[in-house]
Every structure is written in structure tokens, then in C-alpha cells.
A and B are shown apart, each in its own frame.
Chain A
Amino acid sequence: MIHLNGVHFSYEGREVLSGIDLDIASGEFVALIGPNGAGKSTFSKLLNGLNKPTQGTVTVAGLDTKKARTSALARKVGFLFQNPDRQLCRSTVRDELLFGLELCLTDKADIQARLDKTLADFHLDPALNPLTASRGERQRVALASLMALTPQLLILDEPTTGLDWRECMHTMELVTALNRQGATVFMVSHDMEVVRDFAQRVLVLNKGRLAADGTPHEVLRRTELLSDAALLPPQIMQLSLSLGANYDDIDTCEEMTESLIRRRLEK
């Protein structure tokens, strides 16, 4: 789905990304983490063609982003900005969803079917004005407008920032459902608990380079590497790391509880 080959990217002569090689297969759920200013948003925008590599190639869904038209990429790639207000432009949810559908599709029956399904899936009121809705609702409308187009790749730039816990869980459940239906998900996040709970693969971006690539278990327990990238392991991983090598395989509350019950019985 995504291939980066020897990618460098510079803003006004300042190199932000240096020599990135990466392959992401179709259907993966990948999280990109790193300190403020590491270039995570810049990296994300390479994947929908908003940024073109200064050197090297980026191929997304079979399209070379330097050669493909942005509109061709937009049909395959959905991009959720950190701030949903950057992508909402209509005064009702119905018009907001129709905006993208009518730009990308011509079959009126298909457009209507997608509109109805999306409104139902996201429990959205078609008459709601997204511009005056709460932050969580605006985020949901922005995500719904992307999902209506059933993108092959969904890029999410800090999708849970500014949301309360319930809104955060709801957003992540919707994203997970789309991933289960086959979409590839690429998510930038600062929330290590969300990354551990939902991502299958974690990339660490630091000082313009990929510093780690592995499962949440492999990457999020590397305290030195994370500390160098201004990150911390999720709380239960911090606990199991502090308890020593006998707890190396424990990442969650459930695993810790099971382990303690077993250890008590063995005594």
C-alpha cells in the first residue's frame, strides 16, 4: 500500500526527513510516534501528496505521489487533519458528506446509498450544523466524510487530541471497524495508551529518521529509545518494566492480573 524509498524532505533548505525507507502492507494499522517537531505531520502529508519528497520516491496505492494528480490520490487516501475545522466547509452534516461524494462519484444512486449508510454508521443527524457542534462531533463529521468515500488508506493526524475519553474511544472504534473491513490505517499520535491498544505496528520518528519499527510490545518497552524521543511507555508497561525481567511479557491490566493470580497460586 505504501512504499517509501530513500525519501528526504526539506522545508526551505532545512532537511526535516532524512533517508526514509518504509513498506506498509494493505490492511495494516500503523502508528507514528515521536517528539513535537520530529516531522510527523510532514511525514503524513507525504502520503497524500500534499508534500512531495525532495529526494527519493513515495508510492501510495500504486501511485507515485510526484507524478500522480492530487485528485487521483484523494480518491484512494482519506486524510483527517489534527484540527477538523480545517476540512469542514458546509453548514449541515448532509451537505458536508455530499461535498466529497459528489466531487468523487457520478452515480446518484451510489451517492445516496453511501450518504444513508454513513449517517447510520456514525449516528449523525443530517441537519446538524458541524460548524457549531462540539469538538468531538466535528471530529466525527470530518471522519464520516472521509469514510463515506471508503478510502483504501486512512491517514489520521492526532485523531484523539482535544477529545474526552468517551469521544476518543468512539473515534477509535470507528477507525478500527474501517481497518477490519480492509482499509490501511496510518495514525500519528502522542497518546501511548491509544497506540498500545489499537495499533498493530509502531514507528518512532526522531530527528528526521525512523528510530524504531515493530509491534507495540517490541517498541513501547524500549525506555531509552522512547526517552530520547520525548516519549514514555504506557503506564502498565512502565509498571512491568519496574518489576523486572519476570514481567517482560506483560503489557496490559488484564495480563498483569492473570499473572498475579497465577503467581499467588504457585506460592
Chain B
Amino acid sequence: MIDMQQLSFRYESAQGNALTDITLHIPRGEFLGIIGPSGAGKSTLLSVISGVIPHHYTGDFYGACVVNGMDTVEVTPTDLSRVVGSVFQDIDAQMVSSMVEDEVLFALENFGVPAKDLDSRVEEALATVGIANLRHRSLDTLSGGQKQKVAIAAVLAMRPQVLVLDEPTGELDPASSQAIFRVLRTLNEQGTTVVVVEQKIMLLSAFCKSLCVMDRGSVRLHGTMREVLAHPELLREIGVNCPRVATLHEQLLAAGLSAGPVPICVEEAKAMVEGVLA
């Protein structure tokens, strides 16, 4: 679905590369989490997938990024946005309307979706993220979590094949953060390819199928969640925290206890503890 080949990018007037020699294949139907320290290039990578780089932010672009058969440098951002939906870090910067319904309608109308289909597309998008009841509410009366769902619904209304999100739970409480990731899992199960940048490793490990760890513009680790979390020392060196259940696994191994494969959620950790005592 997304193929990056030896991709490097340097922002205009920046001294060093933001991305260096990235080769990454993200198959259709993937649910990929991206984590890494500040300045690792995570947001830049999402901007390449959505075409914001190099069409909006210019600079030196080497290599290639192909999304659904389209070379992102050669097609226009408008063409790409029919395939890739983006949810930014600052959702208030993304909102253009004062009412929920208008926000979801905005892109549909701009892309010339026939008038007879508009109502059902809005209804379907709001229902998918579980906020059909908010359709006629004013955006400034909504909580942070509700606004985040509106931003996702507005993108979903375009029925994108790929959804990219930059720290969608930054300021949300733990239950609202989980609710957003449950929505992403549902969309992924329905066929959408999801790529999400997030600092909360425990959310990523509980929901994503695979994980990409970035550091100073490069991909340092990429694999299934279990494959990546099997490298706790390297993760710490990069500056990425492990889920506590993975740290427990590491400590049990160090104590000479046979703990089996690294757990990625509490249920698996429970089975690990029961296994240790069996």
C-alpha cells in the first residue's frame, strides 16, 4: 500500500536531514504504530505519506514514496487526499467549521460528492466513530476526545484507504485515548490501513499489529509488536519506553525465570506469571 525506497528529506534552510535513507513497506490492511524521541522524523514521515512533503513543505527530496501506486512527488496533494486521510497533532488547527455536521460536510462538498449522497456519508462517518448523537452540536461545546472523533469522522467521510494520525491522544485522558484506538482498530478491521504516531507505548502495544521505531531521521526497528519489544535495551538506548509488562518480562528473564515470549498486554502478562508458577 505504501512503499518508501531510500527516502531522504531535508527541509529548506535546515542544516541536516529530517529523514535519512528510509526504506519501509507498509502493506494494505496494516495497523502500524510509529514511536521515537522528539526530532526522530515521525511527523515528517507522515507528511511524506500525505504529500504535504514535498508539495507544501519544500526541500531536498531523494528516493521515492509510492502510495497505492501513486508516486507522491508526481501526483497532486488533492489526488493523494482521495486515498490518504490525515489527522493532525493540533486538531483545532484542522477544524474549519463551528458545527459538527458542517465540519464533516466540508471535504465532501469540496470534492464534489453528489448532493443526494451527502446526508448518508455524514451519517455513516459519525456513526463509525460513535458520535452520531453529536451531529448538530457546536464544536466549542465538545470535550477534547469528542473533537478528536469529529476530526477522524471528517476524514473518514472521504472513505480513505489510508488513515495517518499524528499523536491523536496527546491531551486525552486514558479512557478517551483507548476509545480513539478502539475506533482505529474497528476501521482497520474494516480494511483501512492505519499509520499512527504516538508516544504512549502501552496504547500502541495493546492495539497495533506492528511497530516502527524511529531515531534521528532513520528507522531503527520495524516488525511485529512482539519482535520489536524483544529488544528492550536497544529501545532504552534510543529513548523509547517499554510497556511495563515487557519490562517485567525482562526482569523475570534476568532473574533466571523462564518467562516465554514477551507479553504485549496485561492478559498475556497474566498468562506469563501463571506460566512461571506452573
Binding site for B on A (CB under 8 A): 34-37, 82, 134-136, 158, 161-167, 190, 192-193, 227, 230-232, 234-236, 238-239, 242-243, 253-254, 256-257, 260-261, 263-264, 267
A235 touches B202 (CB 8 A): yes
A261 touches B255 (CB 8 A): yes
Q: Mark B170-185, 1 if CB is under 8 A from A, else 0.
A: 1111111010000000
Taking CB atoms and an 8 Å cut-off, the chain B residues in 225-278 that contact chain A are 239-241, 243-245, 247-248, 251-252, 255, 257, 266-267, 269-270, 273, 276-277
Q: Which residues of A contact B176 (CB under 8 A)?
A: 35-36, 230
Q: Mark B140-162, 1 if CB is under 8 A from A, else 0.
A: 00011100000000000000000
Q: Which residues of A contact B252 (CB under 8 A)?
A: 257, 260
A243 touches B245 (CB 8 A): no
- Closest chain-B Cβ to A253's Cβ sits at a distance in Å of 4
Measured CB to CB, the nearest residue on chain A to B146 is A36
Q: How far is the CA of A46 from the CA of B192 in the complex (A)?
A: 45
Taking CB atoms and an 8 Å cut-off, the chain B residues in 76-90 that contact chain A are none
A236 touches B143 (CB 8 A): no
B39 within 8 A of A: yes
Measured CB to CB, the nearest residue on chain A to B205 is A235
Q: Which residues of B contact A232 (CB under 8 A)?
A: 174-175, 178
Q: Which residues of B contact A167 (CB under 8 A)?
A: 37-38
Q: A260 contacts which of B37, B143, B276 (Cβ < 8 Å)?
A: B276
Q: How far is the CA of A82 from the CA of B171 in the complex (A)?
A: 10
Q: Which residues of B contact A161 (CB under 8 A)?
A: 170-171
Q: How far is the CA of A161 from the CA of B251 in the complex (A)?
A: 28
Q: How far is the CA of A81 from the CA of B252 in the complex (A)?
A: 40
Measured CB to CB, the nearest residue on chain B to A162 is B170
B44 within 8 A of A: no
A35 touches B175 (CB 8 A): yes
Measured CB to CB, the nearest residue on chain B to A234 is B244
Q: Which residues of A contact B243 (CB under 8 A)?
A: 235
12 sampled A-B residue pairs with Cβ under 8 A: A35-B175, A82-B171, A134-B38, A165-B239, A167-B38, A230-B176, A231-B174, A238-B266, A239-B270, A260-B257, A260-B276, A267-B277
- Closest chain-B Cβ to A196's Cβ sits at a distance in Å of 10
Q: B199 contacts which of A35, A37, A165, A261 (Cβ < 8 Å)?
A: A165
Q: Which of B39, B174, B270 has the most CB of A within 10 A?
A: B174
- Closest chain-A Cβ to B199's Cβ sits at a distance in Å of 6
Q: How far is the CA of A234 from the CA of B269 in the complex (A)?
A: 14
Contacts A163-B38, A165-B240, A242-B266 given; does A235 touch B276 at CB 8 Å: no
B269 touches A239 (CB 8 A): yes
Measured CB to CB, the nearest residue on chain B to A158 is B171
Q: Which residues of A contact B174 (CB under 8 A)?
A: 190, 192, 230-232
Q: Which residues of A contact B257 (CB under 8 A)?
A: 260-261, 264
Contacts A164-B239, A165-B240 given; does A260 touch B273 at CB 8 Å: yes
B38 touches A253 (CB 8 A): no
- Closest chain-B Cβ to A240's Cβ sits at a distance in Å of 9
Q: Which residues of A contact B267 (CB under 8 A)?
A: 242
Beyond the given A162-B167, A165-B201, A239-B245, please list 15 additional residue pairs across the A-B interface where CB-CB is below 8 A. A35-B173, A35-B175, A36-B144, A36-B172, A36-B173, A82-B171, A161-B170, A164-B37, A164-B199, A190-B171, A230-B176, A235-B269, A242-B270, A257-B252, A264-B257
- Closest chain-A Cβ to B3's Cβ sits at a distance in Å of 28
Q: Which residues of A contact B248 (CB under 8 A)?
A: 236, 239, 253, 256-257
Q: Which residues of B contact A136 (CB under 8 A)?
A: 38
Measured CB to CB, the nearest residue on chain A to B235 is A165
Taking CB atoms and an 8 Å cut-off, the chain B residues in 26-69 that contact chain A are 36-39
Q: Which residues of B contact A234 (CB under 8 A)?
A: 244
Contacts A165-B241, A253-B251 given; does A190 touch B273 at CB 8 Å: no
